[in-house]
Structure 1
Amino acid sequence: MFFLLGLTLFTFIIFLTSYLLDSRKLINGLLFNIFLFSAIITSIYAAFSTQNRFLIIIALIFIFFLLLIPIFGIHALIVGLFINTKILINREGKRFSNLLTLFIAIGLILFLIGSFILSTNLFSQEINIFLSSFIIISLYYFFDVFNFLMISFLYQFNHPKLNQDFIIVLGSGLIGDKVPPLLASRINRAIEFYNKQSIVTTPPKIIFSGGQGNDEKISESLAMQKYAVEKGIPFEDTILEDKSTTTFENMTYSKNIMDNLSNKYNSIFTTNNFHLFRAALYAKMAGLKSQGIGSKTALYFLPNALIREYIAIVVMHKKRHIIIISLILIFNLMLALIQHYFITPYL
């Protein structure tokens, strides 16, 4: 019991230290999940070792639902993804970017089919060994997605101090020259923080960051500025950054503006909650110490948006993923060759 308690405390300290040193690290999701797993094992062991009926009942209920996940969880997820795709298309239109949940659902179905085929021994042992590498790769991504979702969730709990010099509002596209609801929520979040800080100290400057797209009549920054001024933000407290076309450029160009205005400053950025952690990674890449605060997003939009965010982060760390996938394929290929040349002939 003391060993498990010590292990749980140790894993929590490791996570907390890493998170406090820099909350903008993907590994924090893994470290928290290790702590969470350790805490669950410790709690279950404590329930049965103390013979406390209430704790045992809670533990049994938890174990029951935990066992249901591998049996029915993936099926429920597939159904949920199909339903979400239908809702998203009805509300946002039939665009490729709105079909990600559909593609994931199809991928999960293929995973189930592949697992079933491997279990039937339809192919030779060597081929089964090699094909199992794709199951292992799928499990690797299940695990990686879980770590991503956890750190994305944890990063939502940022509470920046009311001592900011600048607030960066990240652009997300216009409809003509109008601010759509998704972008409006980012501006409103900045306005909310601006008003809170104005009560206790000097209000920050708001940097509206976003260039002009091919289908936009004006720059995103100008449209955002107009929206904010109409909401009561003084014009003199607004700054335009109208050259950026990506989140990384948002951060880089905004940093250049702040560096030119002040040698030492505090800053934060606002974006939608699903985009918060990836934006923080780009801020880190741009050399900004800025942490983010997120605006709420409609629930039906979240699954598709989170999938898009995860894909973007995979691309950011493509070298790591290529190395891991290559190692899995090479290892299983070697096992298949060993099976073919050194084991099967002697059976």
Structure 2
Amino acid sequence: MILLAIGVVLLGVFALRFRRERRRFSNAVLLLLGILCVGAALIGTGAEGVGPETLVFFALALSPLLMLVLAGLLMLNGVVMLRREGMRPANLLSPALGVALLVPYALLVVAVLAEWAVFGVLLLAVVLVAAYLGFVLVAFLLYSLVYSWVTSTDGAAAIVVHGSGLLGDRVPPLLASRLDRAMGIWHADRAHGLAPLLVASGGKGSDEKVAESTAMAAYLVEHGVRADEILREDRSTTTRENLLFSRELLARQGIERRILLVTSNFHVLRTALLARSVGIDAQAVGAPTARYYLPSAILREYVGILAEHKVLNAVMCALLVAAPIALMIFAEAS
């Protein structure tokens, strides 16, 4: 019952914080912790002899196996990405991380073969870090879905479409999907008597013939949007710059609220979190993405989330590695 009460409290705190500000990653942590506590309590009450300590043991035991499966899937996805999109640094991220995830297990094999006394400590450290990283990944995936489900597209004063790269001077499928989603929202608003501005946001990359905003605006015009209904932001090269430069552009139009950001579905949560961090009153919605591209793209977002909280995550991993070492030292001393 104590575990159930903790879970209910955590979910209650999540609900309050979510209502006040949904663009916080701490909401994801609260939501998953609450669900795990409530779920563990219900399973424990429904199965005789199954207590919280048993569930924790199985969760820790499964974490290394799940990370091994994830490593295999990442390497497989990397092969698919390289075949479809060629040898590019972004496409190497999946297989590289997949190999990196196997390194601790390789060290375990070496420790066993060499009969190192530290084998148990190394095993526990790997399990704890894997469990932590797995928890953050699941929290990110779960909350990305929740955020996307609840974000409304109605009544925006401006719809900002974020660029994602061109093929020379042409709009590729990923960016076309974003533009199509934005136009769908724009037409729906106009059908209800509203007239939101459309903002094409994207500068010129080193391998691009024109600024992304120029190609994006041309695409919109080709699909029935008048040129005078489109604002172009042509300086940005990152998502942060998309946000900051678009805010400047919209401020000159007297728009500082009710801004809707359109990006790809895998990038929605990080875009919303970044908008909050730079002080922009905006929510984000996503456009569909090719299935083969999703694993690699989601992985980049996950790594980005870890990097944006790198100090906290580094401290947590260091503590999880240090804990079994400290236990071993204490046991030997006593």
Q: TM-score range by the shorter chain?
A: 0.7 to 0.9
Question: Against the structure 1 CA distance between its residues 13 and 131, is the aligned structure 2 distance closer, same or farther, given a 3 Å change threshold?
Answer: closer
1:84 aligns with 2:77: yes
1:245-264 equivalences under 5 Å are 245-262=237-254, 264=256
Q: How does 1:335-346 map to 2 (within 5 A)?
A: 342-343=333-334
1:160–1:268 CA contact under 8 A, matched in 2? no
SS in structure 2 at match of 1:233: coil
Instruction: Confirm or deny that 1:99 pairs with 2:92.
Output: yes
1:227 to 219, 229, 240: 219
Matches within 5 A, 1:50-69: none
Amino acid in the other structure paired with 1:11: L
**One of 124, 133, 144 as aligned partner of 1:141:** 133
Structure 1 equivalent of residue 14 of structure 2: 15
Task: Tell me if 1:114 matches 2:107.
Answer: yes
Q: Which residue of 1 aligns with 2:264?
A: 272
Paired amino acid for 1:32: L
Deviations 1:175-198 (A, max 9, x none): 111011111111111101001111
- Residue identity opposite 1:191 in structure 2: M
Show the 5 A alignment for 1:1-347: 6-45=5-44, 47=46, 73-116=66-109, 122-125=115-118, 129=121, 132-262=124-254, 264-328=256-320, 334=326, 342-343=333-334
Q: Deviations over 1:87-146 (max 9, x none)?
A: 222111122321222123223333333345556782134x86478545533332222222
Q: Are residues 6 and 95 of structure 1, via their aligned partners in 2, closer, same or farther at CA, if it must alter by over 3 Å?
A: same
Range 257-266 or range 182-191, more displaced: 257-266
Distance 1:215-1:299 versus aligned 2 partners, 3 A rule = same
Q: Is the 8 A contact 1:269 1:291 kept in 2?
A: yes
Q: Letter of the 2:79 partner, please give it.
A: K
Contact 1:115/1:135 (8 A) holds in 2: no
Distance 2:195 2:173 in 1: 25
Please tell me the residue identity of whatever aligns with 1:106.
V
Q: Which letter does structure 2 place at the counterpart of 1:34?
A: L
Paired with 2:47 and 2:122, the residues of 1 have a C-alpha distance of 42
Q: Give the counterpart letter for 1:232 in structure 2.
A: G
- Change over 3 Å in CA distance of 1:118–1:132 after alignment to 2: farther
Q: 1:72 to 1:311 in 2, by over 3 A?
A: closer
The verdict on how the C-alpha distance between 1:263 and 1:275 changes in structure 2, with shifts beyond 3 A counting, is closer
Contact 1:189 1:270 in 2 (8 A): yes
Q: CA distance change for structure 1 residues 192 and 69 in 2, over 3 Å: closer, same or farther? A: farther
Greater Cα radius of gyration, structure 1 or 2: 1
Segment drifting more, 323-332 vs 178-187: 323-332
Aligned partners of 1:67, 1:323: CA distance in 2, in Å? 20
CA separation in 1, counterparts of 2:265 and 2:244? 21
Aligned residues: 325
Q: Which residue identity is paired with 1:217?
A: K
Q: How many angstroms does 1:264 deviate by? A: 4.9
TM-score (norm 2): 0.86
Cα displacement (A) at 1:8: 4.2
CA RMSD of aligned residues (A): 2.9
Q: Which moved more, 1:133-142 or 1:29-38?
A: 133-142
Q: Percent identity?
A: 30
